[in-house]
Structure 1
Amino acid sequence: MTTPPDTKPAAAPTAAGRATRIALSVLLLAAGLAVGTVGAFYHRAEFTTGTISWPNGLLLSLGGLVGLLLGLGELLPVVPTRREVPARLPGVAFAAAGWVIAVIWLSYIGPPFSFANKGDVILANDWISMAFLIVGMALATFFLYRAWIASLDAKLARARG
């Protein structure tokens, strides 16, 4: 009986493979930072037709997060066959962490770096910004849970034989 290619254990790690995996993980963190930063600045954009304003910036910002996390969830292997590629769960976790770091940075700490309580014009206290924060966190949690379940299924399949 052969194991599916997604559940075969990875080969022994090498120094080059470890460096490549770390570089790809940093790249995934940077991608999450970029999506979070662009979304934080763009989520307030509106399209107005007559008297109705459509929050298309909010939809596009959350769509960018969904695209990033869904794409990583489908592209990264559940159990990598090579040590150079991060697994699905850590990859999605790095991207989601990058998004959260960018949003927290721009909502509370903000540039320049200080912990002083200051007002924020990027993520204001209104329904659009709150929807961006809450729905974004819910999406990050959902895709992390989805990657965790896939990882758990692969481990259980490997344990069963």
Structure 2
Amino acid sequence: MRVGLYPGSFDPVTLGHVDIVRRAAHLVDRLVIAIGTHHSKGPFFTPEERVVLAQQALEPIATELNLGLGVVTYDGLTVDAAREAGAVVVFRGLRDAGDFDYEMQMAGMNAALSPDIETVFLAASPGTRHIAASLVRQIAAMGGDVSKFVPDSVNTALKRKLAP
């Protein structure tokens, strides 16, 4: 069984994340969504909420594509999370050249730390290239409609969290 790891903050899960999961599903038998809970970041959703939202948004896709899916949290090195999950590949989505520069550095560091785990970059599909979780949070906080950028369950959760 080929296992992949898709790490990120997933704060919140966006349609860009969904796009990467759909495409990674063709390359592995099981995909573990690894939600980073680094204490230096001030998350909008708690780690527990992000796990639930990821499961709600991604389990139907995994079922549709016959993909084994796991959702975990981690607060250490990505390569350690990959090793713990039994992953042989780490997937990273790329939206633009800025993402590429940063992700190339991370891939190099990860390869030096754990040469047996490959990093695979998946370019964002044209319809999702503009979506960033940080912008989704900002638009939602200002009362904007983010339904074009997130799964329905995430849109509902954002509205509930931001309700007065």
Give yes or no for TM over 0.5: no
Q: TM-score, normalised by structure 2?
A: 0.23
Query: Which structure has more strand as a fraction of its residues?
Result: 2
Greater C-alpha radius of gyration: 1
Query: Which structure has more helix as a fraction of its residues?
Result: 1
